[in-house]
Structure 1
Amino acid sequence: MKDFFGRSLRLVLMFAVAATLSVSCSKDDSSGRLKLNQSALFVEELGATETVGFTASGVSSISIANLPGGWEAEPDLATGTLRVTAPSVIDEEHVESGNLILTGHSVEGANVSATLYVAIASTKDLSAEQSNCFVLTQPNTNYSFDATRRGESSETMPTAEVKIVWQTTTGLLQYLNLRDGKVSFYVGADEDDDSKIETGNVLLGAYDAAGSLLWTWHLWITDFDPAGKAVTLANGTTVMGCNLGAMNNANSTTDEILESYGLYYQWGRKEPFIGPSEYNFSMGSSEAMYDGDSKRVYNSFDETDASKGTAEYAAAHPLSFLLGVEESRYDWLYASHSDALWSSSAKSVNDPCPKGWRVPSSDAFAGLTIADKSGAASDYEEKYGWELTDGSATTLFMGAGRRVYTDGKFQNVYNPLPESRNGALEAQPWEGLYWTSDALTDTKSAAFYFYFNKQDVASSAVVPSAAHYRANGMTVRCVKE
């Protein structure tokens, strides 16, 4: 029956998306108005009853014009409420979901209507997991969280609207709604497997009444629990089993490699940047992104300056990759450099990791070495990652390169020392660069670094802490708090 539920829900979703937000009325306001407080209603159990509010003006009576099979609805014009009851069974005549149409009859004889999508589906309140990143793994679920809080802090903001800034696949979120400070949205199942969620990354934005962006949250929608793939190192650090924002952590096929890179971050920023469109960076382009209207959106690459190079500007412009310049000493912050945007002592408000996880210090990776570099170069060149071990635990780290601080372009190449300094003659593919929370100077921070040398595989190495300019975009591997 669960498979039937999933299939029927997706079919109705396809036909309902365009209709759910519609409110039809005559051009003359005197003929009446009718508006529901929300566009969709999800009930968790068969036979359950929920109530939805509505507002009406110029309406003398109200009725139900369309009702999905087996559903019941009782509108009350006096109280402005609609009482909806789900069917107690699902069969050929009783359906799991559909469109309910509420019709108001104006005093002048005209009709106005509003459409409510109703469905039996799981609901999950994520408020206890409040963070800058939410991990979503449960399909066919209506999620919600507090849209007035910044990260894990208690600081609130006047959120008046919530919109998708970007998403990696169109339609990842359905029925996006803000009510009483809480945002809710529905996430469906994979087309080919009802038991798995439809995967992708979403950046969701909170806006004030004037339309200014106040904050963003990363929704990491994946068909596995990243915490479930975690490993604990000998030093006691529990390392998440994949990169932040990744859909995989595997190295066998080119699709797996691309899925395993995850998202990229400038040091100290919580806003993620999309990864490459090709596993080997050959196209030099980013993965596609779309807004809430399914239109393509793109990152801008802006040189930092006195007006753009601030933490406030960065938070309000999450699509802007702020390029380092000589005047900023290649930090995305132009003048007021800060070591506290990410912290090694406590999780900061800008930390991009989910609840219970954080950006690691470089000490977390101390002692990691390449598990096996005894093979020929050809054994590694198309792998783009190493199994790293501390002798007690082993996990795969992808060689995901970086977005370069001067132009934001993807680069995945190890630039060895000149021959005169005992280095290789030729640049080598690939390198892994992972931000840590450690600030080394006021414009450089520590990256966990490893590289592959195809001319001398045995000389490939791991460096726990390497200084890099903060305007670089690098991957993040979260560790447990």
Structure 2
Amino acid sequence: MLLAGCDTDDEYRAAEPELYLTASTRIFALSADGGQRTVVIDTNCGEWKVTTDAAGWLSNRKEGNLLTITAGESLSTKAQTAVVTVSSIDDPSLTCEIRVMQYGTGATNLSALGTANCYMASTGASYVFDASIKGNGLGDGNSEYIDKHGLLLDEGVAAELLWEAVFDADKTRSRDVIDGEPVYRNGRIWFTTGREQGNAVIALRDFSGEIVWSWHIWVTDREVTLTAANGYEWMDRNLGALNNTPGDVANRGLFYQWGRKDPFLPSSAPYTTGNVTEANVENHQVGDGTAEWAYTGVRQQLLTEAPGNIENAVRHPTQFLKTYYQYSGSSWYVTPTNDALKEADLWGGNKMSSGYKTIFDPCPLGYMVPPDGAFATAAGDMSTGVNVDTQWGPFEGNGRAWIGGTGDFFPFVGILTINTPLTNCGHIGVYWTASADASNGYGYEVYVTSDWGRYRQGATAYGNSVRCVKEK
């Protein structure tokens, strides 16, 4: 009987658990100044060992289930990479790899001449910029944002890639705009670009995980040229575009709600010549980023006084903010008919006739959103808009050339609206100025179709294109 009982126990004995070995972090980057990262090794296989192909620039220390990987200051002008392999001693086939990158000392300082919300970069290069101050570190219009939230970013603890995108919605290629993870250290952010041209946004988070600021990285290998018109030097393409070739999706650039610094993606579909809806495809690319796009369904907070929804917008750079009341109001910033809205001056275009760049300006270092009058005459009577059709050439290639100004082509990218988000791609072009009507808070814009052109007021909650000018 006893023997029979033992046989029964053996028959129903629980199977041995499957062995596993994992690491809490599989990829990270360190600055050229050096640093370390502690990785948690979770395993049931007993003892484990560490090997690396780092050729001496990395060191490892085991303590319990913790592995601390350390790099000293880099002496290389380029980024260097290594693989740290953790493997079971009992079962060498059980392994996990941790990829480590350290930025080189040859990183280009994008903020050497000043700070901005947007930096232009080329493919295949390493960069660093000052992440200790908001925007260009100057004014905030009349928003009172600086009084409440300050200019310094001393609460930042970590950088994060929110999104990266190419214009044709190729998810594989979009992952190659930024190479690896950005690194935050001592008030600066390091990053490396990949092999693809496109756009990306890098955010700075505080200890609680909240976004405290973010920066647009415009990756293009085609040098920007300037052409003078109406007293300004104009970029040869839209903000965020890779070219200005008629009919090419890479000419679109990005959308901006008036007064906001963070961009939204244009349609991911090709231009069309007939169907007015076929090209209106929302673009939700994030590449290897962590963000999610929200083009609909996110209403502004019901705030009636300055600084209104600015902090809300800063913390949620991929949320397109609709007006609180669906069919009334014009602003993402505050609710309608409020003096804070009318006199916001978020992009500084009302401060000076020549323009004034604020901490919310989305243009790169040295550039700004053009103020009132830069496209044509000053606003004048805006009840029906100022007719500027004679300044624009014939409709072709899904856009028109500004023959009364720079002569450059302006693609019809469409607009983002508060009710039917992406509309009229390839059929209308709407370009913001930095100025607004102080009597109602509507932003001045040039609105061009295949049949007519108007310089008029537009609802600031809408997403339009931007063509930057040289800062004066």
TM-score by length of 1: 0.67
Q: Which of residues 247, 253, 263 in structure 2 aligns to 1:262?
A: 253
Moved more, 439-448 or 467-476: 439-448
| RMSD of equivalent CA atoms | 4.2
Q: CA deviation at 1:24?
A: 4.9
Does structure 1 residue 476 correspond to structure 2 residue 462? no
Q: Which runs of 5+ in 1 are unaligned?
A: 1-21, 26-34, 44-49, 58-62, 89-94, 105-111, 190-197, 374-379, 413-428, 454-459
> Which residue matches 2:10?
none
Counterpart secondary structure, 1:313: helix
> Which residue matches 1:123?
107
Number of residue pairs the alignment of both structures matches: 382
Counterpart secondary structure, 1:448: strand
Structure 1's 307 and 212: CA in aligned 2 closer, same or farther, altered over 3 A?
Answer: farther
Query: In the alignment, is the contact (CA less than 8 A) between 1:135 and 1:222 conserved in 2?
Result: yes
Does structure 1 residue 387 correspond to structure 2 residue 401? yes
Cα displacement string for residues 387-443 of structure 1 (whole angstroms, at most 9, x for unaligned residues): 21337x42111122211243423235xxxxxxxxxxxxxxxx732210001111333
Question: Equivalents in 2 of 1:372, 1:472: separation in Å?
Answer: 23
> Which residue matches 2:374?
364
More strand by share: 1
Does structure 1 residue 176 correspond to structure 2 residue 161? no
Q: CA deviation at 1:42?
A: 8.2
> Which residue matches 2:363?
353
Q: Which of residues 280, 286, 296 in structure 2 aligns to 1:284?
A: 280
The aligned runs of 1:103-142 (5 Å cut-off) are 115=98, 117=100, 122-128=106-112, 129-137=114-122, 139-142=123-126
Question: Equivalents in 1 of 2:208, 2:445: separation in Å?
Answer: 39
Counterpart secondary structure, 2:250: helix
Counterpart secondary structure, 2:182: strand
Q: CA deviation at 1:83?
A: 5.3
Does structure 1 residue 249 correspond to structure 2 residue 244? yes
Query: In the alignment, is the contact (CA less than 8 A) between 1:291 and 1:297 conserved in 2?
Result: no
Question: Equivalents in 1 of 2:362, 2:293: separation in Å?
Answer: 22
Q: CA deviation at 1:160?
A: 1.4
Q: Which runs of 5+ in 2 are unaligned?
A: 1-20, 41-48, 62-68, 88-94, 138-150, 166-173, 378-387
Moved more, 210-219 or 149-158: 149-158
Counterpart secondary structure, 1:259: helix
Instruction: Name the aligned partner's letter for residue 364 of structure 2.
Output: P
Q: CA deviation at 1:39?
A: 3.7
Structure 1's 435 and 96: CA in aligned 2 closer, same or farther, altered over 3 A?
Answer: closer
The aligned runs of 1:17-96 (5 Å cut-off) are 24=23, 39-40=28-29, 65-67=51-53, 71-73=55-57, 75=59, 82=71
Q: CA deviation at 1:220?
A: 0.9
> Which residue matches 2:218?
220
Query: In the alignment, is the contact (CA less than 8 A) between 1:166 and 1:297 conserved in 2?
Result: no
Counterpart secondary structure, 2:357: coil
> Which residue matches 2:128?
144
The aligned runs of 1:196-235 (5 Å cut-off) are 198-226=196-224, 229-233=225-229, 235=230
Q: Which of residues 406, 409, 414 in structure 1 aligns to 2:422?
A: 409
> Which residue matches 2:45?
none
Structure 1's 97 and 319: CA in aligned 2 closer, same or farther, altered over 3 A?
Answer: closer
Instruction: Name the aligned partner's letter for residue 386 of structure 1.
Output: R
Counterpart secondary structure, 1:322: coil
Counterpart secondary structure, 2:358: coil
Structure 1's 268 and 56: CA in aligned 2 closer, same or farther, altered over 3 A?
Answer: closer
TM-score by length of 2: 0.68
> Which residue matches 1:339?
344
Question: Equivalents in 2 of 1:362, 1:442: separation in Å?
Answer: 15
Cα displacement string for residues 4-61 of structure 1 (whole angstroms, at most 9, x for unaligned residues): xxxxxxxxxxxxxxxxxx9959xxxxxxxxx99x944688xxxxxx86557799xxxx
Instruction: Name the aligned partner's letter for residue 240 of structure 2.
Output: G
Instruction: Name the aligned partner's letter for residue 360 of structure 2.
Output: N
Aligned-pair identity (%): 25
Query: In the alignment, is the contact (CA less than 8 A) between 2:256 and 2:466 conserved in 1?
Result: yes
Counterpart secondary structure, 2:156: coil
Cα displacement string for residues 145-191 of structure 1 (whole angstroms, at most 9, x for unaligned residues): 222321111533411122222221224321322222222122122xx
